[in-house]
């Protein structure tokens, strides 16, 4: 293969991998380490700038004047830790077994095709976790039922608005508002011994844990720009959640 063509294919593949990791919820340092290992397996060096929305990458060889710089926009985020884990394992294996460009490309395509959990399974699992949190905060079985139902409908709204490609903060606000309204009915009709716990836990599925944790790790790794962006994203998400809860409490005049 011609050296320039190989260089272009390499940078395109590494950009694809880094974008996949960012979309799946990896922190910036994890992306850089994975790219470094894949590049090492192919006997290249890389230099890249990773932001929240785009990636600029240069691939080059130490003993050559050839280099290639390309830019890739990052698509909307869809958290998937199994993809992050699979890519990380593949990067280590690529170094140990000296994978070729084609081998790495095929492995990444296989990882992309990993099946996600069915939406119904996600709905039930997340709703059960909401009910579990309700129980931890002294809610009884009726309160847990309200928390389960509120979380289920709120997450369903979140999924449907995602399918329609609504603005992410509008999706979060809508899910928070609907879940809070349904949970507030438990307080209005005095369902269970501690109905306010259902209201407090019905919106926990929206808490931006990944964004806030990644912002903290990015700050620790001196990736200040991404840390700031992720912290701001987390803060905006919290505000959207709080606004939905606040409006529901105003509607039902809850303290």
pLDDT digits (tens, 9 = 90+) for 70-88: 999 999 888 999 999 999 9
Query: Distances in Å between the alpha carbon of 207 and those of 32, 179, 197, 211, 218?
Result: 27, 13, 16, 9, 19
Tokens of 197: 């716990």
Residue 216 has pLDDT above 80, yes or no: yes
CA atoms of 80 and 116, how far apart (whole Å): 8
pLDDT in tens, 235-251: 999 999 999 999 999 99
Identify which of 240, 238, 248, 211 has the alpha carbon closest to the alpha carbon of residue 226: 211
pLDDT for residue 122:
95
Residue 168 has pLDDT above 70, yes or no: yes
DSSP per residue, 192-213: SS-HHHHHHHTTGGG--HHHHH
Residue 25 has pLDDT above 90, yes or no: yes
C-alpha dihedral (177, 182, 185, 186), degrees to nearest 10: -120
CA atoms of 182 and 74, how far apart (whole Å): 35
How many Å is the maximal CA-CA distance in the chain?
A: 75
Name 227's Cβ contacts closer than 8 Å, sequence gap at least 6.
215, 216, 218, 219
Of the two residues 57 and 77, the one the predictor is more confident about is 57
Q: For residue 99, give the 3-state DSSP assignment.
A: coil
49 φ, ψ to 5°? -115, 120
* Over residues 40-45, mean pLDDT: 93
CA angle, residues 141, 142, 147, in degrees to nearest 5:
95
CA atoms of 99 and 108, how far apart (whole Å): 12
59 φ, ψ to 5°? -115, 135
Give the residues across from 57 on adjacent strands: 48, 70
- How far the first Cα of the chain sits from its last, in Å, is 70
Q: For residue 253, give the 3-state DSSP assignment.
A: coil
Residue 1 has pLDDT above 90, yes or no: no
């Amino acid at each position: 293969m011609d050296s320039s063509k190989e260089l272009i294919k390499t940078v395109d593949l590494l950009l694809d991998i880094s974008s996949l990791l960012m979309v799946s919820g990896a922190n910036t340092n994890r992306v850089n380490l994975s790219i470094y290992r894949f590049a090492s397996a192919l006997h290249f060096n890389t230099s890249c700038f990773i932001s929240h929305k785009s990636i600029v990458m240069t691939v080059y060889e130490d003993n050559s004047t050839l280099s290639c710089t390309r830019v890739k926009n990052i698509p909307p985020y869809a958290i998937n830790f199994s993809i992050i884990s699979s890519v990380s394992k593949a990067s280590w294996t690529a170094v140990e077994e000296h994978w070729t460009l084609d081998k790495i490309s095929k492995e990444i395509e296989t990882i992309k095709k990993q099946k996600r959990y069915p939406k119904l399974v996600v709905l039930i699992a997340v709703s059960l976790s909401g009910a579990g949190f309700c129980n931890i905060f002294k809610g009884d079985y009726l309160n847990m039922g309200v928390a389960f139902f509120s979380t289920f409908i709120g997450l369903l709204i979140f999924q449907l608005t995602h399918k329609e490609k609504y603005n992410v903060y509008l999706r979060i606000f809508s899910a928070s508002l609907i879940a809070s309204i349904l949970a507030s009915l438990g307080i209005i009709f005095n369902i269970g011994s501690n109905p306010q716990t259902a209201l407090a836990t019905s919106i926990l599925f929206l808490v931006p844990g990944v964004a806030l944790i990644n912002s903290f790790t990015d700050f620790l790794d001196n990736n200040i720009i991404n840390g700031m962006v992720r912290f701001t994203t987390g803060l905006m998400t919290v505000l959207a959640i709080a606004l939905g809860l606040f409006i529901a409490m105003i509607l039902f005049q809850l303290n």
